[in-house]
Amino acid sequence: MAFIPKEFIENLLDKVDIYEVVSPRVHLKKAGKDYSGLCPFHAENTPSFTVSQQKQFYHCFGCGKNGTAISFLMDYEGLDFVDAVKDLAQKAGMEVPQQAGSYTQKTNSNLFEVTEKATRIFRHQLKAASHVIEYLKNRGISGQTAQIFQLGYALDEWDGLSKRFELNEQDLLKKTGLTTDNERNQTYDKFRNRLMFPIHDRRGRVIAFGGRAIEADQKPKYLNSPETELFHKSNELYGLHLAKKHSNEPYILVVEGYMDVIALHEKGIKNAVATLGTATSAQHIQTLFKSWDRIVFCFDGDSAGVQAAEKALKTALPLYLDRKIIDFLFLPEKEDPDSYVTKFGAEAFHEQINDAVAYSDLLIQILSKNINLNSLDGKAQLFDKAQPYINQLPKGNFKQIMGKKIAEISGIEQSRPQVFNQPKQQQTQHGENPLRKLISLLMNSPNLCAKMPQALNLHKLSFKGVEIVDKIVEIFNANPHISSAAMLEHFRDSEYSKYLGQLMRMYDHLDDQQKHLEFNDLVKYLQKMTSQQEINRLREKQLHTGLSNEEKQTLVQLLHQRHQ
Ligand SMILES: [Zn+2]
């Protein structure tokens, strides 16, 4: 799919060291010939994430994520393939060839051009919209803050924005969600007479917009871009690109609205992000835990706020690690962060944060809701209600402490077994596809391709994966010095890429010589299998249609070989 030449990727992966890419982002310790650390892609308390310098490959035993330095940047930083390659190339002092880019990359970058242009137009229009500027002033937003957040204004016209785009840009404009069709297929601007908030991705590129009504009777009050190729609500957090500059702060504040983030920023609290009209997702929490060790969720004091907090708490359960902290801040009724910080200032807001409710306390509050803890029955109820929650927590101190606490409150000794014996998994050694082993060996040590016997016709066997073996050998023949990681990159866009990544670890316990021996054994075994297969085929044919002289000779030869 990508148009970056494969040779460039091969050279690039030869120049970069995956350790240098991963170690600034994940704390790694030397473990044997590899490095290990806590996996950045799933919640865990004991390291199952390993980085192999030799193979230039990472792998997590916990969640199965794996890949090369390129995949790591894509997964960790949320970059697309081309950007990840560009980042690495820059570090390696290499220049990505000009024709770089794929079809989707190209449309995406065109979409970004459209969103950036729309942002410029909206910003320009704000300058002339005195009633909107007045509104911002009344809400305590300075011109400087408006600039930082690139606020703008959408005119009160059906085509105020779209008429500023060329005819051939209209399709792209629709793809960004800035225009939409009515039932008579007439296209019109989605945002009209609204204060515009560009929504940025974590790299600061505009991916969507939010628009706030200006007039009191205008409905809805807030309007967001729909989901598009660029915008997936549950992945994105408003203001993250700015907050990331403050990852040295001890916590990140998660609020509900754009205006909350902006008002806090105005008052100097710059480590805040907002969810975009969706509940907090596991992805949000994981993203934030990459940069901060403490999350403070800030909800309104009303019942909707409490409900949102409950939801966030539940989502966070399996992600709640010992070295991470989650707190919940409930503002006084009828206040939101915007109104509160504007009225009372940053100092007062910080005090609120100091008084935030601890995760464990909120959990117990939620569990004991509508339960009378003075009765024995109520206590037993609490204990039972708590178990599914506690089971979801990752193994560690916090889980233990919570378990004890619940037992204490409910007066029930923790004598009940927490973990039920699970039926032992059956050993499924039989029926293993030998090509899996072959592919794994070839991916691990591409130089083994040179030792593949010419006469070995794996197509005779009915195992899956022959085409992969062929492809690996073909790639090797084109570049006999290819590394494991570069080999893996060749399969990036193929359906096999995930499967190959998993196979990379199969022979980790063997050294090079042992791998050679394993390879020789395997090849012998496969040769035997193919000749047996051929014998069967010829015998079958002999019964039905008879064999030619040549075929007879082959059969005799094969039988002879087998008896040797
Ligand atoms: Zn993992």
pLDDT in tens, 483-522: 999 999 999 888 888 888 888 888 878 888 889 999 999 9
Q: What is the pLDDT of residue 99?
A: 59
Q: What is the pLDDT of residue 353?
A: 93
Q: What is the pLDDT of residue 98?
A: 65
Coil, strand, or helix at residue 98?
A: coil
Last residue of a domain, one of 207, 231, 255: 231
Q: What is the pLDDT of residue 419?
A: 40
Q: How far is the CA of 322 from the centre of ligand 1 (A)?
A: 16
Q: What is the pLDDT of residue 414?
A: 52
Residue 556: C-alpha distances to residues 428, 524, 537, 564 (Å): 36, 20, 13, 13
Residue 501 covered by a domain:
yes
Q: How far is the CA of 513 from the centre of ligand 1 (A)?
A: 30
Q: How far is the CA of 250 from the centre of ligand 1 (A)?
A: 25
Judgement on whether residues 156 and 203 belong to the same structural domain of the protein: yes
pLDDT at 420 over 50: no
Angstrom distance (rounded) from CA 232 to CA 154: 23
Q: What is the pLDDT of residue 386?
A: 92
Give the number of domains in the chain: 4
Q: How far is the CA of 15 from the centre of ligand 1 (A)?
A: 26
Q: How far is the CA of 476 from the centre of ligand 1 (A)?
A: 30
Q: Which residue has the higher pLDDT, 349 or 98?
A: 349
Judgement on whether residues 440 and 522 belong to the same structural domain of the protein: yes
Q: What is the pLDDT of residue 425?
A: 32
Judgement on whether residues 73 and 181 belong to the same structural domain of the protein: no
- The answer to whether 393 touches 320, Cβ cutoff 8 Å, is yes
Q: How far is the CA of 251 from the centre of ligand 1 (A)?
A: 23
Residue 155 covered by a domain:
yes
Q: How far is the CA of 221 from the centre of ligand 1 (A)?
A: 41
Coil, strand, or helix at residue 515?
A: helix
Residue 363 covered by a domain:
no
- Amino acid of residue 318: P
Domain CATH code at residue 130: 3.90.980.10
Among 169-178, 246-255, 324-333, 523-532, the least confident range: 523-532
Q: How far is the CA of 415 from the centre of ligand 1 (A)?
A: 32
Q: How far is the CA of 65 from the centre of ligand 1 (A)?
A: 6
Report the relative pairing of strands 294-299 and 252-255 from DSSP bridges: parallel
Angstrom distance (rounded) from CA 409 to CA 397: 18
Q: How far is the CA of 525 from the centre of ligand 1 (A)?
A: 35
Angstrom distance (rounded) from CA 392 to CA 470: 45
Last residue of a domain, one of 213, 231, 249: 231
Q: How confident is the model at residue 434 (pLDDT cuts 50, 70, 90)?
A: confident
Q: How far is the CA of 312 from the centre of ligand 1 (A)?
A: 22
Residue 26 covered by a domain:
yes
Q: What is the mean pLDDT of residues 28-41?
A: 91
Judgement on whether residues 42 and 119 belong to the same structural domain of the protein: no
Q: Which residue has the higher pLDDT, 86 or 98?
A: 86
Q: How confident is the model at residue 457 (pLDDT cuts 50, 70, 90)?
A: confident
Q: What is the pLDDT of residue 421?
A: 35
Q: How far is the CA of 378 from the centre of ligand 1 (A)?
A: 39
Judgement on whether residues 74 and 110 belong to the same structural domain of the protein: no
pLDDT at 563 over 80: no
Q: How far is the CA of 42 from the centre of ligand 1 (A)?
A: 5
Residues facing 326 on adjacent strands: 295
Q: How far is the CA of 57 from the centre of ligand 1 (A)?
A: 14
Q: Read off the pLDDT of residues 164-173 as tens digits, 9 standing for 90 and up.
A: 998 889 999 9
Helical (H) or strand (E) element with 51: strand 49-52
Highest mean pLDDT: which of 132-141, 457-466, 555-564? 132-141
Last residue of a domain, one of 52, 68, 92: 92
Which candidate, 493, 396, 295, 360, places its Cα nearest to that of 44?
Answer: 396
Judgement on whether residues 82 and 125 belong to the same structural domain of the protein: no
Residue 328 covered by a domain:
no
Residue 312 covered by a domain:
no
Judgement on whether residues 224 and 117 belong to the same structural domain of the protein: yes
Q: What is the mean pLDDT of residues 63-85?
A: 88
Residue 502 covered by a domain:
yes
Q: Which residue has the higher pLDDT, 137 or 63?
A: 137
Domain CATH code at residue 53: 3.90.580.10
Q: What is the pLDDT of residue 377?
A: 86
Judgement on whether residues 81 and 106 belong to the same structural domain of the protein: no
Judgement on whether residues 438 and 402 belong to the same structural domain of the protein: no
Q: How far is the CA of 137 from the centre of ligand 1 (A)?
A: 47
Mean residue pLDDT of the chain comes to 87
- The answer to whether 403 touches 388, Cβ cutoff 8 Å, is no
Domain CATH code at residue 471: 1.10.860.10
Residue 409: C-alpha distances to residues 85, 373, 399, 402, 531 (Å): 54, 8, 15, 11, 71
- The answer to whether 305 touches 329, Cβ cutoff 8 Å, is no
Full domain range(s) for residue 465: 434-563
Q: How confident is the model at residue 106 (pLDDT cuts 50, 70, 90)?
A: low
Judgement on whether residues 88 and 113 belong to the same structural domain of the protein: no
Judgement on whether residues 87 and 113 belong to the same structural domain of the protein: no
Q: How far is the CA of 48 from the centre of ligand 1 (A)?
A: 7
Judgement on whether residues 164 and 125 belong to the same structural domain of the protein: yes
Residue 310 covered by a domain:
no
Q: How far is the CA of 45 from the centre of ligand 1 (A)?
A: 11
